[in-house]
């Protein structure tokens, strides 16, 4: 990884960045492979010696279990330098195990000259417990920044993935409506509903009334996504972006005053979500802590906090009624965490490197998801998952196939790729076999040149 960064001529501020981690499902399979001429079984859960000892103490026995998931750690620098750092076969990583894995990786990166300013993760329950373990009080007051256990002079920010937050917000609206059937929530802000029916009505009005639709990208897949389609980032973002915000405003103007007022909170939500999508998908770097985009993020933060406080301050509601009027607690906490931590990360980096910059489009966990897509695409097809033996060998193919720098291009042509792992990573290699080469002999009177064999 260090050699790859040197070969790519990564500047000094590019050696700092974030550590992204995520888990994916794999097939439970035990494979016998040869490592250095010796057989080895691959497929058991292995999260390190210390975490393995803790698991034995907790369970009170020594046993081996097949891995059903794999956790992937990837480093992403501020200049776009990326490298898959390590991976562990797990059965669903625990917060205590994640604590050991993450800080061990940060310490190793520091030994080789790489600095981790933030840890990017999704809103899984174990990830949330891992974050809470670093704070005694409210993490929002500390801007989710905890001391760096590998370097006490620095701090590390714990942030949430932007893509997952947008999907969770869209899914909360998708389940909002009348409390019957598939609708389990009815989101309300300032006594006005935020229900998915508003989106359906706006799209149908656009299709039936306008000869040239205002927002032509919306399909039935956007309005009625299946289970797998709910996981696609673009489907969620296209229902909360600025084009949908413009369509909802046009739809409100076409209604009577009484019905138009019902869309007030929905339009307020779209106003803030569209700005967030525009900022976090923008490739325009932030080079100063006085950037105007920080003011937009603070406005969105205050609006989400106001929404939650407005509902919870109503003493006439029960806890169940309050939960149905808001997105999930995890969704709101992760959204607030993201809005608080991004300015903090920019402040840390720009105060240390005067010529540095932060690209908002890299402040997500898409790099880990892309790694998993490459894994599934190279082996067994996109419909099934590889086992751990296949996963570990495919990492080398991913390194050879992808570029070192993430530039937001559709093609990696012309960009340098990383070198494959050496034998210190993959295990000892067999001795080189003897080769026989042909060396021309001295000129002879014969028309055909004779050769002699030399054994090396």
Contacts of residue 391, Cβ cutoff 8 Å, sequence gap at least 6: 26, 70, 87, 375
DSSP 240-302: TSHHHHHHHHHHHHTS-HHHHGGGHHHHHHHHHHHHHHHHHT--PPB--TT-HHHHHHHHHHH
Residue 293 falls within a domain, yes or no?
A: yes
d(CA 345, CA 358): 9
Return the higher-pLDDT residue of 243 and 52.
243
Residue 250 pLDDT: 94
Contact 331, 172 (CB under 8 A): yes
Classify burial at 54, counting beta carbons within 10 Å of its beta carbon; exposed 0-12, middle 13-18, buried 19 or more.
middle
Out of 54-58, 151-155, 392-396, 403-407, give the one with best mean pLDDT.
Answer: 151-155
- Give me the domain span that covers residue 181: 165-338
Looking at every residue in the chain, the average pLDDT score rounds to 84
Residue 437 falls within a domain, yes or no?
A: no
Instruction: Please check whether residues 9 and 155 belong to one and the same domain.
Output: yes
pLDDT (mean) for 109-134: 92
Instruction: Please check whether residues 222 and 319 belong to one and the same domain.
Output: yes
Instruction: Please check whether residues 206 and 80 belong to one and the same domain.
Output: no
Kindly list the distances between the CA atom of residue 371 and the CA atoms of 10, 354, 378, 394, in Å, as whole numbers in the listed order.
22, 32, 11, 10
Contact 101, 88 (CB under 8 A): yes
Instruction: Please check whether residues 67 and 182 belong to one and the same domain.
Output: no
Residue 437 has pLDDT above 60, yes or no: no
How does strand 69-77 pair with strand 145-148?
Answer: unpaired
Decide which of 338, 373, 398 is a domain's last residue.
338
d(CA 99, CA 132): 11
Instruction: Please check whether residues 185 and 51 belong to one and the same domain.
Output: no
Residue 433 has pLDDT above 50, yes or no: no
d(CA 423, CA 36): 10
Instruction: Please check whether residues 171 and 154 belong to one and the same domain.
Output: no
pLDDT for 308-348, tens place per residue? Answer: 999 988 888 888 889 899 999 889 999 999 999 999 999 99
Contacts of residue 168, Cβ cutoff 8 Å, sequence gap at least 6: 123, 327, 328, 330, 331, 334
Residue 109 falls within a domain, yes or no?
A: yes
Number of structural domains the chain divides into: 2
Instruction: Please check whether residues 147 and 192 belong to one and the same domain.
Output: no
Residue 435 falls within a domain, yes or no?
A: no
Return the higher-pLDDT residue of 358 and 368.
358
Contacts of residue 81, Cβ cutoff 8 Å, sequence gap at least 6: 5, 8, 10, 14, 15, 17, 75, 404, 405
pLDDT for 205-262, tens place per residue? Answer: 999 998 899 998 999 999 999 888 998 999 999 999 999 999 999 999 998 877 888 9
Contact 361, 276 (CB under 8 A): no
Residue 312 falls within a domain, yes or no?
A: yes
DSSP 361-390: GGSSSHHHHHHHHHHHHHSS-TTS--BHHH
Residues 3-8: contacts with CB within 8 Å, 24+ apart?
3/419, 4/83, 4/404, 4/418, 4/419, 5/77, 5/81, 5/83, 5/114, 5/404, 7/416, 8/81, 8/404, 8/405, 8/416
Which range among 35-44, 65-74, 190-199, 318-327 shows the weakest confidence by mean pLDDT?
Answer: 35-44
d(CA 284, CA 357): 10
Instruction: Please check whether residues 40 and 92 belong to one and the same domain.
Output: yes
Percent of the chain with pLDDT over 70: 85
pLDDT for 183-210, tens place per residue? Answer: 888 999 988 999 999 999 999 999 999 8
Instruction: Please check whether residues 270 and 213 belong to one and the same domain.
Output: yes
Classify burial at 87, counting beta carbons within 10 Å of its beta carbon; exposed 0-12, middle 13-18, buried 19 or more.
buried
Residue 201 falls within a domain, yes or no?
A: yes
Residue 199 falls within a domain, yes or no?
A: yes
pLDDT (mean) for 294-301: 95
Across the strands, what pairs with 72? 22, 87
Instruction: Please check whether residues 235 and 169 belong to one and the same domain.
Output: yes
Residue 440 has pLDDT above 50, yes or no: no
d(CA 388, CA 395): 11
pTM, two decimals, is 0.83
Instruction: Please check whether residues 172 and 112 belong to one and the same domain.
Output: no
Residue 397 falls within a domain, yes or no?
A: yes
What single DSSP character describes residue 44?
B
Instruction: Please check whether residues 195 and 54 belong to one and the same domain.
Output: no
């Amino acid at each position: 990884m260090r050699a790859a960064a040197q070969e790519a001529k990564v500047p000094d501020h590019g050696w700092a960045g974030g550590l992204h981690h995520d888990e994916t499902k794999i097939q439970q399979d035990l494979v016998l492979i040869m490592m250095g001429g010796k057989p080895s079984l691959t497929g058991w859960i292995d999260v390190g010696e210390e975490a393995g000892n803790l698991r034995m103490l907790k369970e009170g026995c020594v046993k081996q279990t097949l891995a059903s998931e794999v956790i992937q750690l990837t480093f992403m620098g501020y200049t776009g330098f990326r490298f898959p750092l390590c991976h562990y076969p797990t059965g669903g990583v625990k917060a205590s195990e994640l604590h050991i894995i993450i800080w061990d990786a940060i310490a190793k990166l520091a030994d080789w000259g790489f600095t981790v300013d933030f840890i990017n993760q999704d809103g899984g329950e174990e990830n949330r417990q891992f974050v809470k373990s670093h704070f005694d009080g409210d993490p929002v007051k500390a801007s989710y920044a905890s001391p760096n256990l590998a370097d006490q002079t620095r701090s590390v920010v714990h942030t949430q993935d932007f893509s997952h937050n947008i999907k969770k917000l869209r899914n909360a609206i998708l389940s909002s409506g009348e409390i019957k059937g598939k609708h389990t929530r009815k989101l309300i802000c300032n006594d006005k509903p935020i229900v998915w029916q508003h989106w359906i009505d706006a799209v149908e009005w656009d299709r039936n009334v306008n000869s040239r639709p205002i927002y032509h990208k919306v399909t039935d897949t956007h309005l009625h996504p299946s289970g797998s389609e709910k996981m696609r980032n673009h489907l969620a973002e296209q229902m909360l972006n600025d084009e949908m915000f413009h369509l909802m405003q046009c739809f409100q103007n076409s209604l009577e005053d009484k019905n138009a007022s019902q869309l007030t909170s929905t339009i307020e939500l779209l106003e803030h979500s569209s700005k967030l999508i525009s900022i976090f998908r923008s490739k325009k770097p932030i080079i100063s802590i006085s950037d105007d985009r920080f003011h937009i993020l603070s406005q969105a933060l205050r609006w989400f906090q106001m929404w939650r406080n407005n509902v919870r301050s109503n003493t006439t509601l029960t806890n169940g009624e309050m939960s149905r009027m808001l997105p999930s607690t995890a969704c709101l906490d992760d959204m607030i965490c993201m809005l608080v931590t991004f300015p903090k990360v920019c402040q840390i980096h720009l105060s240390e490197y005067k010529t540095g910059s932060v690209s908002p489009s890299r402040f997500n966990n898409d790099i880990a998801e892309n790694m998993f897509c490459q894994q599934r695409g190279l082996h067994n097809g996109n419909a099934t998952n590889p086992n751990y033996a296949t996963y570990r060998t495919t990492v080398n193919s991913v390194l050879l196939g992808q570029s070192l720098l993430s530039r937001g291009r559709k093609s990696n042509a012309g960009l340098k790729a990383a070198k494959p792992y050496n034998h210190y990573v993959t295990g000892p290699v067999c001795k080189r076999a003897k080769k026989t080469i042909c060396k021309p002999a001295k000129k002879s009177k014969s028309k055909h040149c004779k050769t002699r064999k030399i054994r090396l």
